[in-house]
Structure 1
């Protein structure tokens, strides 16, 4: 736990370079998601191969997140975050150098390791530089950067590819990621406070950190909720939204006389999701700081998410569909902000990296499993039934909140105020 007051100016010294670096680092990855399926035939890649390439980075993170978390507790934060930005630049350059499958796959795996270093490192640094009374706001601001990156980079990558070509667009993305590397290298301070001799830190065994993490039922509960958020709230909806629109509305959707094609509507809904989540994140984080009740905020986030998922089951017109997407977006913004803040409240100083790695791994398990499970279930049931099962799975999180968080974090915060 941070036992000294850190000014808002000091927090911005970390938040600003971290946030800018993350936005720039996402340019290559999100450009691939946007244009690779369309350009695959020209590159000699089949659609099944594209699926492997786009999922490879997530699969490697199931291992690299936890490993990075352990290294952060041993080696500090700054050097590993900067290393992640450097590897991200190299991976994007790899897309430009060669489109041969194995070279491309190696670059995607390298990006997976890079994102672990960036994402888990960012979580650990924010926990280092915040207190329980302002941690939610800080994570909310970080989510704004992430959601802005998710909204802007696909559009930028698509426009650059249409204006120039596939390789030139990715070369520009590599330059942008390289700019993020320079920003992190020049502006980012070390945030880990060393309270014991270096030789004692390096004697810590990974097995001890893993045993500690498994013994923390509050952290395990938070990890489960993160898995639900990325599985039901984001993974299922994001991977099936275009299919849902196609099945419900064929080729055209009408909103009060305004006709939109399915592809345009799908893109508009995803952009709207990012903007809504970005808008609610700092507000939700700040509210959880002020009310001293992150568990309550998480509970409401789950309720809103269940309502949105259930709404998709019975969305009989385009306005009900829009309302459901808005609710799911609000839920995602709340949960993605408050869950890591609560993780930071619960993790002790010696294990912040390990706790951050565990949270990131749980989320990646959910997002990686969602498309596979959804499309497997679609062979035996309707899409509405899949959404209903997703709503039920998210509702299970409310049981966890009640069992684990019913005593609330307020007692812990009250103790912090008197220290």
Structure 2
């Protein structure tokens, strides 16, 4: 099936969905900076509980991905985004409450919300793009929605310092609820499969091709997730899907997991106070600024890398990016805060390119 990049509202819908994602992830981004410092306000008893809460939302995505995919195949699209916004609002508001088990349940709910958002975004971009502009649209989406991480980390740290964790959580919960408006009025109801009641013959067989592609995609995903212990299945490790997923997993574990979750705690331990222009900045604000630098330049860096990947190819640019990252580390450029930001920019490029690999294979 050929996608139709000429649709006049395709790029607008991608931008609107990126804004929805940005609003929904404000509370989650805030936690990576604030929770390692304000964990007692959340009713937690030790730091290991902080690690569990910051990671469990990623763990639950593994079994939830195929289920959310089936939801989208049956519903068509918009209902999944509405569910994501409501789950994001409820889970963010719950950060004003106390108790490990309540937080654990709400972090799992946020993992479900994020799964709806990401699969919906990938599906919409695949629907409105082709090979000539898919990287650009994927980069545009990544760049815009990461502004939510920037605002969540920096503003969340300031709000928590002024009004505590509870006040920051309620402000961001209200902001995430505003994402319902672009979902209802700016994004098409159906962007996966065909709307119910449609006929495959209406487009000269195009619907049959689309359904065949969906069946092939689900079969391939099933082979990866539901492993069967047969000798032939060992060949799956030579499959491009597995290599792409493994690379994305390693990058996410190191930088979106370990680095993001521990930075504010490390700053509190070794550099607890910074004086800038007569202002005393605490560790939460410092960590928010350091991590926010990456999200600040991603709105222009991600589309640029996406355009380069459309022109040069995903594999070539990914290898060059990882080589630049390795060179940066060997020469010790990441010893200062600016160096950390440079490293994160290279990770931004590599992570975005990995997502475009997935979109190309879908």
Deviations 1:112-145 (A, max 9, x none): 1111111222112111111110001001111112
Asked whether the equivalents of residues 57 and 108 of structure 1 are also in contact (C-alpha less than 8 Å), the reply is yes
Counterpart CA distance in 2 for 1:268 and 1:188 is 32
Distance 1:199 1:286, change over 3 A: closer
Distance 1:73 1:308, change over 3 A: farther
Counterpart CA distance in 2 for 1:59 and 1:41 is 24
Distance 1:252 1:100, change over 3 A: closer
Are residues 1:111 and 2:110 paired? yes
Q: Which residue of 1 aligns with 2:93?
A: 93
CA displacement at 1:296 relative to structure 2? 0.9
CA displacement at 1:169 relative to structure 2? 2.6
Q: Which residue of 2 aligns with 1:393?
A: none
Deviations 1:233-284 (A, max 9, x none): 544543555677688x7668999xxx99877654433222222444321101
Distance 1:205 1:310, change over 3 A: closer
Of 292, 302, 306, 1:271 maps to 292
Asked whether the equivalents of residues 95 and 165 of structure 2 are also in contact (C-alpha less than 8 Å), the reply is no
Are residues 1:22 and 2:37 paired? no
Relative to the length of structure 1, the TM-score reads 0.69
The number of residue pairs the alignment matches comes to 335
**Structure 2 residue matching 1:55: 3-state secondary structure:** helix
Distance 1:89 1:260, change over 3 A: closer
Counterpart CA distance in 1 for 2:159 and 2:289 is 19
Q: Which residue of 2 aligns with 1:238?
A: 260
Distance 1:199 1:145, change over 3 A: closer
Deviations 1:340-385 (A, max 9, x none): 22222222xxxxxxxxxxxxxxxxxxxxxxxxxxxxxxxxxxxxxx
Structure 1 segment 266-415 matched on structure 2, within 5 A: 266-291=287-312, 293-311=313-331, 314=332, 321-322=336-337, 324-347=339-362
**Structure 1 residue matching 2:131: 3-state secondary structure:** coil
Q: Which residue of 2 aligns with 1:31?
A: 30
Unaligned runs of 5+ in 1: 348-419
Are residues 1:140 and 2:160 paired? no
Relative to the length of structure 2, the TM-score reads 0.78
Deviations 1:147-199 (A, max 9, x none): 21111112222333344443333222111111112321232112224314999
**Structure 2 residue matching 1:116: 3-state secondary structure:** helix
Asked whether the equivalents of residues 32 and 261 of structure 2 are also in contact (C-alpha less than 8 Å), the reply is no
Deviations 1:306-355 (A, max 9, x none): 223434xx45xxx75456424422322222222222222222xxxxxxxx
Counterpart CA distance in 1 for 2:95 and 2:283 is 30
Greater CA drift, 117-126 or 192-201: 192-201
CA displacement at 1:30 relative to structure 2? 2.2
**Structure 1 residue matching 2:317: 3-state secondary structure:** helix
Counterpart CA distance in 1 for 2:281 and 2:217 is 57
Counterpart CA distance in 2 for 1:118 and 1:37 is 26
Counterpart CA distance in 1 for 2:167 and 2:329 is 40
Distance 1:260 1:119, change over 3 A: same
Q: Which residue of 2 aligns with 1:350?
A: none
Higher helix fraction (1 or 2) = 1
Counterpart CA distance in 2 for 1:39 and 1:103 is 17
Q: Which residue of 1 aligns with 2:171?
A: 172
Distance 1:201 1:72, change over 3 A: farther
Unaligned runs of 5+ in 2: 195-206, 226-232
Distance 1:197 1:90, change over 3 A: farther
Asked whether the equivalents of residues 321 and 349 of structure 2 are also in contact (C-alpha less than 8 Å), the reply is yes
Asked whether the equivalents of residues 18 and 188 of structure 1 are also in contact (C-alpha less than 8 Å), the reply is yes
